[in-house]
Structure 1
Amino acid sequence: MAKWAMAQEVYDVCITIHNRDQSAHIGEDFFITGSFNSWKPADILIGAIPKYGDSIEITIPSVPKGLLEYKFTRGNWETLASTAKGNLEGPIKVIVQGDTAVNAQIDGWRDDFPISTASPQVCVLDSAFYFPTLDVHRRVWIYLPEGYNDSLQSYPVIYMHDGQDLFDEATSKGRIGPLEWRVDEAIDEAEHKAIVVAVAHAEDIQQRQNEYFVRPTTSFPKPLGEAYLSDMVKVLKPFVDQHYRTKADREHTAMAGSSVGGLLTFYAGLLHPEVFGVVSVMSPSIWLDEGNVDQAIKQIPVRKDAAKPDFYIYGGGNENRIKPDGSRVRMHDDIERITKMMYDSGRNKVQVVIEPDGRHGAWYWQKAFPHFYSWWMSRISDKEAAS
């Protein structure tokens, strides 16, 4: 029978966990974490890890009706349950419509595998690259396609933000664990290759956001996003083009980012269309920008057709966010609104992708990136074939 907590329908969820891992962790304490406990990794003890082939049960009481997400840990994000090969995956999902019984399985533990998940093609371009307008030093990674050092081939380039989260679980952090985008693996597996230049975000979350906002908001009255983009365009890109074999023209230069980094990328397309021929705007935090995006679309002049960038805008159908004033917004509604405004302003090169089950986080951007990359490579191939 349904129970009610603060006028919300809730149920019990019984999870039977089967151990398929034969490591030395049998008998150690392990925990469950999820949307029901604000993703605290050592908050709810399940018990001791059972012997190989055995199982243990836990009941989570008073789970709200709807989507339940959870993971298993041995007490912190470094000891998450993994696949048998050591890969981290997204949360386990259950749709709760009543009292529910489900099965789950543990195949391995992340800390039994190498810390770094970056491919050999990833290296540090500079551990402290200087951004003069921002007056900060930031780590910058570069992905060079396999065989780069054995050829004279030149490549398109993608500039990306939040570099810690793109290639390596050893440097990534997140609300539900150190998931990374697997950008390197995506390009490793692709037919056509590109260089990726990834800039580290500020470690302080407030500083990161201040550097990714372009126009003033209540929380960030003196944003530094325009300065950040200026350094990308006037300092970082020329350095990369000078020291690496790039196709430096706008048709072969892209930018990609997510969340507030997606918002920043959107502004890059508006402010620097002569530099970036494509911008991949993933889950942009439009609701935090207090209407600035709408004004920018209206106010910033539209360049001639030859200098209009392609906007690839991705959003999740389950990206419901709460604004600072407490009101709730839906990501895909924001995307639909600004897409219409883009067309009305004469910016008609807009590709919109809404993933119905998508939510806000690296697991979903990991899945979305290969689709953007394939789309971009197809655009390049089509234009080269037509020329």
Structure 2
Amino acid sequence: MFEFVVRVPDDTPRFQPVFLAGDGPLLGNWSADRVRMDNWDDGTRYLRLDLPRGTRGRFLVTLGRWRTAEADGRGREAVPHEFEVGGDGYAEVRVAEWGRRSLHYHHEFDSRFVPLTRTVSVWLPPGYDLDPRRRFPVLYMHDGQNLFDPETAFAGNPWWADEVAERVIRQGRAEPAIIVGVGNTSDRLREYGPRRCDRDRNVDLSRDYGRFLVEEVKPFVDLCYRTLPGPEHTGVAGSSMGGLISLHLCKWFPGVFGRCAALSPSVWWDDEYFIQTLDVWPHWTKTCRVWLDMGTREGASDAGMAAALNRTRRLATHLDRAGADFRYEEVEGGAHNEAAWGLRFDRVLSYLFPPDR
């Protein structure tokens, strides 16, 4: 048996659950809350695992979420611990502190294009703190208040986007990428819902919202964080109306966004305006990598669920005929909510930002 021994900070509550997350299934495949440690009387945590001789790996210690994982004592990412099994032995580590500052909030973000301020949240991936010379791709996401925090998410149920991304990146299934959550406002439908030229364009803020992202948010992020700014490293993503505006933004700004994720997109909007005009300017599909999906339980009735699937299938057919680099998934049992989108966010990241791309 191989033993892991963890000395925790003095201010850690005695019965606070502590977890190991690391390489391989016995260490949870980098899930922050899967492998719980036991307590010694002095508060030290320990875990015994039957690991084959010669097993080598890495691990970190968490309190059940990556946001509360061990840090280096200065709020930054800790270097993963390494171990090698050489018969009965142990690995002993000491946690300097809990919680690295991976999420940065920029409140009251103002704009000259759209009237209302909002919060812009920036999540920094594993490796950002450890290599100050490295630059990272960026994924801009709409409805940003629903991504990370139960306190701000709709019905208290976020995507847990930071937890999913950290796990997938540490597993080696996706390239480390910065995630920027752009919060919505009471103008959400006006900002996310483009309209035809002859229909209420005076209430349509979608193009102004696009300029807000491209001319204000992105330059701010590129200035303040170590990004790879080119379109091949820049994605935009969202769900429902956020998925719809993501598709439009890639069509309007092909020199800015080269990756797109449209989860459960509201392509019904304005009599299927996006589907009907996709062939008018199809060139963006040649340079953009697109994730498209729809759950099989998205709708208030059987007819509504069937209609949602039918529309998305037709959009996938259009993308296929245009020769787009895309993936389409129908998610069995998938509903129209944040929990469902968060459950497949790992596959979205792996597709948009594959580790070998």
Indicate whether the TM-score tops 0.5: yes
Distance in 2 (CA, whole Å) between partners of 1:312 and 1:122 is 25
Q: Is the 8 A contact 1:283 1:315 kept in 2?
A: yes
For 1:41-52, list aligned pairs within 5 A.
none
Q: Secondary structure at the match of 1:170?
A: coil
Partner of 2:176 in structure 1?
A: 193
Q: How many residues align?
A: 253
2:320 is equivalent to residue 343 of structure 1: yes
| Matched letter for residue 319 of structure 1 | E
Partner of 1:132 in structure 2?
A: 112
**Distance apart, 1:135 and its partner CA:** 3.1
Q: Is the 8 A contact 2:298 2:305 kept in 1?
A: no
Partner of 1:47 in structure 2?
A: none
Q: Secondary structure at the match of 1:193?
A: coil
Q: Is the 8 A contact 1:256 1:280 kept in 2?
A: yes
| Matched letter for residue 198 of structure 1 | G
| Matched letter for residue 332 of structure 1 | L
| Matched letter for residue 368 of structure 1 | R
**Distance apart, 1:180 and its partner CA:** 0.4
Q: Is the 8 A contact 1:131 1:138 kept in 2?
A: no
Distance in 2 (CA, whole Å) between partners of 1:188 and 1:194 is 10
Distance in 2 (CA, whole Å) between partners of 1:304 and 1:208 is 26
Distance in 2 (CA, whole Å) between partners of 1:181 and 1:285 is 18
Q: Per the alignment, do residues 295 and 119 of structure 1 end up closer, same or farther by CA in structure 2, a change over 3 Å counting?
A: farther
**Distance apart, 1:321 and its partner CA:** 5.3
- Which residue, out of 249, 252, 255, partners 1:274? 255
Q: Per the alignment, do residues 119 and 187 of structure 1 end up closer, same or farther by CA in structure 2, a change over 3 Å counting?
A: farther
Q: Per the alignment, do residues 328 and 363 of structure 1 end up closer, same or farther by CA in structure 2, a change over 3 Å counting?
A: closer
- Which residue, out of 298, 302, 306, partners 1:319? 298
Distance in 2 (CA, whole Å) between partners of 1:146 and 1:166 is 18
Partner of 2:310 in structure 1?
A: 333
Partner of 1:230 in structure 2?
A: 211
Per-residue deviation, residues 107-165 of structure 1 (Å, max 9, x unmatched): xxxxxxxxxxx9841120x2111221113322111001245244222111000011110
For 1:1-387, list aligned pairs within 5 A.
120-124=101-105, 126-152=106-132, 153-173=134-154, 177-189=155-167, 190-191=169-170, 192-202=175-185, 204=186, 207-216=187-196, 222-303=203-284, 305=286, 308-320=287-299, 330-344=307-321, 346-378=322-354, 381-383=355-357
Which range moved further: 152-161 or 347-356?
A: 347-356
**Distance apart, 1:291 and its partner CA:** 2.3
**Distance apart, 1:259 and its partner CA:** 0.5
**Distance apart, 1:266 and its partner CA:** 1.2
**Distance apart, 1:222 and its partner CA:** 2.4
Q: Moved runs in structure 1, 4+ residues, more than 6 A? A: 217-221
**Superposition RMSD on alpha carbons, in Å?**
2.5
Per-residue deviation, residues 250-269 of structure 1 (Å, max 9, x unmatched): 11111110000111111112
Q: Is the 8 A contact 2:142 2:238 kept in 1?
A: yes
Q: Secondary structure at the match of 1:142?
A: strand
Q: Per the alignment, do residues 138 and 368 of structure 1 end up closer, same or farther by CA in structure 2, a change over 3 Å counting?
A: same
Q: Per the alignment, do residues 254 and 134 of structure 1 end up closer, same or farther by CA in structure 2, a change over 3 Å counting?
A: same
**Distance apart, 1:168 and its partner CA:** 0.5
| Matched letter for residue 229 of structure 1 | G
Q: Is the 8 A contact 2:140 2:237 kept in 1?
A: yes
Instruction: Give the number of the structure with larger relative contact order, counting CA–CA contacts within 8 Å between residues 6 or more apart.
Output: 2
**Distance apart, 1:277 and its partner CA:** 1.2
Q: Is the 8 A contact 2:144 2:184 kept in 1?
A: yes
Q: Is the 8 A contact 1:321 1:330 kept in 2?
A: no
Q: Is the 8 A contact 1:254 1:276 kept in 2?
A: yes
Per-residue deviation, residues 330-349 of structure 1 (Å, max 9, x unmatched): 322111111212233x2421
Q: Secondary structure at the match of 2:333?
A: coil
| Matched letter for residue 180 of structure 1 | P
Q: Is the 8 A contact 2:296 2:305 kept in 1?
A: no
Greater fraction strand: 1
Q: Per the alignment, do residues 172 and 193 of structure 1 end up closer, same or farther by CA in structure 2, a change over 3 Å counting?
A: same
TM-score, scaled relative to structure 1: 0.60
**Distance apart, 1:329 and its partner CA:** 5.1
| Matched letter for residue 310 of structure 1 | R
Distance in 1 (CA, whole Å) between partners of 2:136 and 2:240 is 27
TM-score, scaled relative to structure 2: 0.65
| Matched letter for residue 183 of structure 1 | A
Per-residue deviation, residues 358-379 of structure 1 (Å, max 9, x unmatched): 111111101111111112222x
* % identical aligned pairs: 28
Q: Is the 8 A contact 1:287 1:329 kept in 2?
A: no
Q: Is the 8 A contact 1:271 1:300 kept in 2?
A: no
